[in-house]
Amino acid sequence: MPSSRIQRPYERSGKKRLAAMLSVVIAISAMLSFFSYAYSLSVSEQINETMTDELRRQARAEAFHLGKLLENNIAIVVGHTRSAANSPLIIAGDVEHGSAAINSRQEITTDVTDRYFWLDAQGRTAWSSAFTNSTERELYQGFDVSDRPYFVNPAETGQPYFSPVIISPVDKSQRVFFSYPIFAELDAGQTLFNGVIVASIRADTLGENVRQQLSTEIESSVGLVDPNGVVVYTSNSSFVGENIFGDKFQSLLRPAFSSQDAVSEFNDFMRDSLQGSNDSRDFSAANGATSTITYLPIRVDFDPGNTDDSEDSQHHFLTLYVTAPHNIADKVNPLIGQVRDFSLAVILAILAVTVIVAYIVFLWNRKLEQIVDERTASLKAANEQLKLHDKMQAEFINIAAHELRTPVQPIKGVAEMARLLSQQKHGGGVLSEKVELDREEIDMLYRNATRLEKLTENILDVTRIESQSLRLKKEEFDLAEKIRNVVYDVQRQSRNGAREEKVVIKYDDPGEAIMIEADVTRIFEVLSNLLGNAIKFTGAGSIIIKSEIAPDDRVIVSISDTGRGIDRAIIPRLFTKFATGSESGTGLGLFISKNIVEAHGGSMWADNNADKSGATFFFSLPLMTNHQQRAEIANAKVRIDKENVIN
């Protein structure tokens, strides 16, 4: 006792030290987790920013590269248009020989231009590179286009002209036109307007020419817009010819961005792009995707001899857009996130293991106490079971002693009476060798000896059942016939007893054989027990026995009485040992009967009748496999026996 009092303070201090140590470990693990996560997040952001900067740089380089290519192609077209306008044959109006100059220029720039055509001073088509097709020539030579901007502007201003996107009335295709005026020199240095040379560029051809020059190193797309905001080329051809500030284009921006402010920011960016400057900016869509948009103006110098490289001396022809989605960053970011999450998971796992170990240590003593409590409770329950077993054993001994005493006393009484009578006849206390008993005394001796034998058999049966040594001697027999015999025996015994004519026993005979394979003696014992109980608890009334064939190849036997019924307190333990509702009896009969039926593969149950008059006991037994065939044979044999008796 003193040692335990000395030990407990040490245990408490040890637990406190352990708790403090584990708390420090948990705190350190938590700090490591936090700093590791913060470091991983910082590194991933730096990597993402570096990749984004590289993507912006590549997009700007790509835009510059494409812009220069496009400017060079347009400059070539402008140069060929100017040289054709200055051709002496064309200035002289010599269509027959001047047409070769038009055709040769189309052959040179066919990857950019759709056609070149020559308009005279009245705006009629003098020649077109498409006139190599005789059908085209017949249709459109001399065709009046004097109302078109590419003729009107050079005619009025005497300056070259770049048109916005125009839908051609001939084939409904979208084109951009460049026109250069033709002047004939007159005397005294005067000039005379003599028509225009026009280069026709299909919008889709121009855009495809640019798109094909895109680098395969990065994922990107291109777009072309004229200074008025009209789309010249984009991957979605339905927007070509639409103004970027028009309803059709704007209707797509609202759902594409997460807010109206984002739409306004994008529109301001596009307005700035039309002013002839260059810039680059990132935009995030509503779905989280981010892209870098770079724009660059496409300028054309109409005067090849001009040495002024300023933007004012050049014509802002188009604006080129290169859109580069951040796909690489989107692909790398999840990988970085996986590494970050893995590091975090490892640290959290260590932290979790630490917490679990701490939890196990803290609960160890409690677990031990719980085990001790459980073992104590188990021992207590076992002790209660032993007490209950002792109580049941004591009850059994008392009941057995009482039941044994009941038949023994009358036997002993008869013996004593016979002894006294013998002494009285011979006097002097001498016993005669022969003792005379009357019929009533003999019946009483037989009855009590039988009862004593029955009690002994019941006790032996209980012992066999509990030791699982109950043996059955199965044979084939007719259950209906056996029930008739039992009813006959019980009725005969009742007529000879005190209950004569007070209880009517009736068997609802099916009239046909019910063939089973069972122990005849044991089944007789079950029927006798159930009928005996029904008679004992039915002071006056009737008992009805039925046997019915169930669909699952079983026979169900029911014994229904009109007695006082089963005590509700007894029903839960009705078929257990020593369960009895009468002042006499061991309560072993139903226990033995149920075990006999179950040993045959059947079942037994009981309940009070619905009309609250008496109770009904049921038991089922399996029929023979060839029950129908065996029953027909048995029925035929009965009919033959009856016929023999009659004859």
CATH of the domain at 566: 3.30.565.10
CB distance 147 to 156 below 8 Å: no
Mean per-residue pLDDT for 491-501? Answer: 61
Among candidate residues 292, 325, 358, the one where a domain is terminated: 325
Nearest C-alpha neighbor of 251 from the set 269, 241, 263, 262: 263
Instruction: Quote the domain boundaries for residue 161.
Output: 1-303+310-325
Nearest C-alpha neighbor of 38 from the set 440, 344, 283, 284: 344
Mean per-residue pLDDT for 483-493? Answer: 85
Share of the chain above pLDDT 70, in %: 75
- What token pair was written down for 187? 């005397």
CB distance 106 to 116 below 8 Å: yes
Phi, psi angle pair for 175, to nearest 5°: -135, 160
- β-strand partners of 339: none
Cβ-based neighbour number of residue 603 at 10 Å: 14
Q: Flag whether pLDDT at 498 surpasses 70.
A: no
Q: Flag whether pLDDT at 3 surpasses 50.
A: no
Q: What CA–CA distance (Å, rounded) separates 615 from 599?
A: 24
Look at the pTM and tell me if it is higher than 0.85.
no
Share of the chain above pLDDT 90, in %: 22
Query: 163 or 347: whose pLDDT is higher?
Result: 163
Query: Band of the pLDDT at 2, cuts 50, 70, 90?
Result: very low
Query: 388 or 614: whose pLDDT is higher?
Result: 614
- Per-residue pLDDT of 93-147, as tens digits, reads 999 899 999 999 999 999 889 899 999 999 999 999 999 888 889 988 999 999 9
Q: Flag whether pLDDT at 19 surpasses 70.
A: no
Q: What CA–CA distance (Å, rounded) separates 549 from 213?
A: 94
In a domain? residue 319: yes
Compute CA distances 454 → 401, 441, 444, 446, 593, whole Å: 14, 20, 15, 12, 14
Chain centroid to Cα 585, Å, comes to 62
Q: What CA–CA distance (Å, rounded) separates 181 from 62?
A: 35
Q: What is the pLDDT of residue 310?
A: 53
In a domain? residue 31: yes
Burial class (CB in 10 A: 0-12, 13-18, 19+), 102: buried
Query: 200 or 62: whose pLDDT is higher?
Result: 200
Mean per-residue pLDDT for 550-576? Answer: 87
- Per-residue pLDDT of 65-82, as tens digits, reads 888 888 888 889 999 999
**Lateral strand order in the sheet of 279-284:** 231-233, 221-225, 315-325, 290-300, 279-284
Q: Which helix H or strand E contains 63, and what residues bound it?
A: helix 2-85
Q: What is the pLDDT of residue 496?
A: 59
- β-strand partners of 518: 475
Q: Flag whether pLDDT at 539 surpasses 60.
A: yes
Mean per-residue pLDDT for 420-425? Answer: 64
Least-confidence region, from 37-51, 249-263, 470-484: 37-51
Query: Band of the pLDDT at 371, cuts 50, 70, 90?
Result: confident
- What token pair was written down for 575? 């078929």
Domain count, the chain: 2
Q: What is the pLDDT of residue 28?
A: 75
Compute CA distances 94 → 82, 90, 102, 126, 288, whole Å: 17, 6, 12, 10, 63
Q: Flag whether pLDDT at 635 surpasses 80.
A: no
Query: 161 or 361: whose pLDDT is higher?
Result: 161
Q: What CA–CA distance (Å, rounded) separates 86 from 91?
A: 7
In a domain? residue 101: yes
Burial class (CB in 10 A: 0-12, 13-18, 19+), 388: exposed
Q: What CA–CA distance (Å, rounded) separates 452 from 443?
A: 14
Q: What is the pLDDT of residue 330?
A: 59
CB distance 292 to 55 below 8 Å: yes
Question: At how many degrees (to 10) do helices 520-536 and 589-599 cross?
Answer: 150
Query: 580 or 522: whose pLDDT is higher?
Result: 522
- Per-residue pLDDT of 175-234, as tens digits, reads 889 999 999 888 777 889 999 999 998 888 888 888 888 877 677 888 889 888 888 888
Q: What CA–CA distance (Å, rounded) separates 304 from 290?
A: 42
In a domain? residue 518: yes
CB distance 182 to 196 below 8 Å: yes
In a domain? residue 423: no
Q: What is the pLDDT of residue 35?
A: 74
Least-confidence region, from 245-259, 299-313, 373-387: 299-313
Q: Flag whether pLDDT at 12 surpasses 60.
A: no
In a domain? residue 340: no
Among candidate residues 269, 295, 325, the one where a domain is terminated: 325
Q: CATH number for the domain including 66?
A: 3.30.450.20
* Contacts of 228 by beta carbon, 8 Å cutoff, 6+ apart: 164, 243, 274
Q: Flag whether pLDDT at 260 surpasses 70.
A: yes
In a domain? residue 634: yes
Mean per-residue pLDDT for 595-599? Answer: 92
Q: What CA–CA distance (Å, rounded) separates 403 from 582?
A: 13
Cβ-based neighbour number of residue 164 at 10 Å: 15
Mean per-residue pLDDT for 552-568? Answer: 90
H helical segments located in 86-188: 88-91, 95-108, 134-140, 149-157
Q: What CA–CA distance (Å, rounded) separates 543 from 615?
A: 10
Task: Tell me which amino acid residue 617 is.
Answer: F
Q: What CA–CA distance (Å, rounded) separates 447 from 14?
A: 80
Q: Flag whether pLDDT at 279 surpasses 60.
A: yes
CB distance 248 to 242 below 8 Å: yes
Nearest C-alpha neighbor of 553 from the set 487, 631, 485: 631
Q: Flag whether pLDDT at 358 surpasses 90.
A: no
In a domain? residue 298: yes
Task: Tell me which amino acid residue 229 is.
Answer: G
Among candidate residues 290, 325, 360, the one where a domain is terminated: 325
CB distance 233 to 222 below 8 Å: yes
